[in-house]
Amino acid sequence: MLVTMTDKDLYRLGIIQRVHDHTLLQREAARLLELTVRQVQRVLRRYREHGAASIVSERRGRPGNNRIPEDLRCAALHLIRQHYADFGPTLATEKLLERHGIPLSVETVRNWMISDGLWRPHSRRQVHIYQPRHRRDCLGELVQLDGSHHAWFEDRAPKCCLLVYVDDATGRLMHLRFCDSESAFDYMTATREYIDLHGKPVAFYSDKHAVFRVNGTDARRSGTTQFGRALRDLSIELICANSSQAKGRVERANQTLQDRLVKEMRLHDISSISEANHWVTGFI
């Protein structure tokens, strides 16, 4: 009879053979195999009765006792394809539990979605490497802010802008506000709300949008925007990044929000800026 063995099985067979030939003590075999003496005695007894084949586990090739039932796997994938086809594994797992009462691990759902072609793992995507900028030390020391123009309500309402505030030290999402456009008035309103909620930060870190920096060459212009003057009066420093990668924390938050927030608002049937601003605090 042909018996297929792994390297571990062959090593164990050699040890048990030496015990059988009385060239190795049982307690030494137990130490080498990381078993108890009684376990070694049981393996030795099976070896004497059935030969080398007894070394191989009888469970090999059989499904595990804790394997998830196939009908549950099919039901979960059907729900994902029907309702959450464009969701990531983590969000899909949360919604399966929250809306359908199906408790699964993220890795289980991830593997199912990959095998079903619903998710492409990050290891197969093109990777861009940038020089990291070190985080600040304390919460509120530096807050990255950015406006993200996107179809936040999909086809239920026109495109709008989401103002995003992310703490640099912790990566924590601090504040969100929906608005029609990325204007100085909207940034002032959102910043006032931020200060009422969290207090005054030491500095804001933004891009070179016209709200934050005068980009023209007209000598008659003062060089400071209305928003910049407001921050100066509040003794808040405004730093403008030279690239989008430099404020990568808020950029990555935008990507996450464009994935998760859009789908959450779809599930809650939110279709207007006023409804979204009222609801988004609970989302944060």
Handedness of CA 189, 247, 284, 274 (dihedral sign): positive
Confidence of residue 219 (pLDDT cuts 50, 70, 90): very low
- pLDDT value at 149 more than 50: yes
Of the candidates 203, 187, 194, the residue with the CA atom closest to the CA atom of residue 241: 203
* Residues 6 or more apart whose Cβ sits within 8 Å of residue 227: 184, 187, 188, 191, 211, 212, 238
Structure tokens at 128: 């861009």
Cα three-residue angle 242-243-246, rounded to 5 degrees: 95
- What mean pLDDT do residues 263-283 have? 93
Percent of the chain with pLDDT over 90: 55
- What mean pLDDT do residues 174-193 have? 93
Confidence of residue 212 (pLDDT cuts 50, 70, 90): confident
CB 162 within 8 A of CB 148: yes
Q: Kindly give the pairing relationship between strand 142-150 and strand 160-167.
A: antiparallel
Q: How far is CA 15 from CA 9, 32, 44, 104, 281, in A?
A: 10, 8, 10, 41, 64
- pLDDT value at 208 more than 90: no
CB 26 within 8 A of CB 40: yes
- Greater model confidence, 58 or 155: 155
Q: Quick one: pLDDT at residue 187?
A: 94
| Mean pLDDT for the chain overall | 87
Q: Quick one: pLDDT at residue 133?
A: 67
Q: Quick one: pLDDT at residue 144?
A: 92
Of the candidates 175, 193, 181, 164, the residue with the CA atom closest to the CA atom of residue 254: 164
pLDDT one-digit tens code per residue, 223-270:
788 899 999 999 999 988 877 666 778 888 999 999 999 999 999 999
- pLDDT value at 7 more than 60: yes
Confidence of residue 3 (pLDDT cuts 50, 70, 90): low
- pLDDT value at 131 more than 70: no
Q: Quick one: pLDDT at residue 136?
A: 81
* Residues 6 or more apart whose Cβ sits within 8 Å of residue 283: 176, 261, 264
Q: Quick one: pLDDT at residue 66?
A: 78
CA atoms of 40 and 10, how far apart (whole Å): 15
Q: Around 257, how many Cα atoms within 13 Å sit in the side-chain half-sphere? A: 29
Q: Quick one: pLDDT at residue 230?
A: 92
- pLDDT value at 128 more than 70: no
- pLDDT value at 200 more than 80: yes
Of the candidates 59, 50, 13, the residue with the CA atom closest to the CA atom of residue 32: 13
Q: Quick one: pLDDT at residue 217?
A: 54
Q: Provide the b/e sequence for 3-29 (b: ≥16 CB within 10 Å).
A: eeeeeebeebbebbeebeeeebeeeeb
Of the candidates 140, 173, 152, the residue with the CA atom closest to the CA atom of residue 284: 173
Percent of the chain with pLDDT over 70: 91
Q: Quick one: pLDDT at residue 81?
A: 92
| pTM for the whole structure | 0.64
- What mean pLDDT do residues 3-27 have? 87
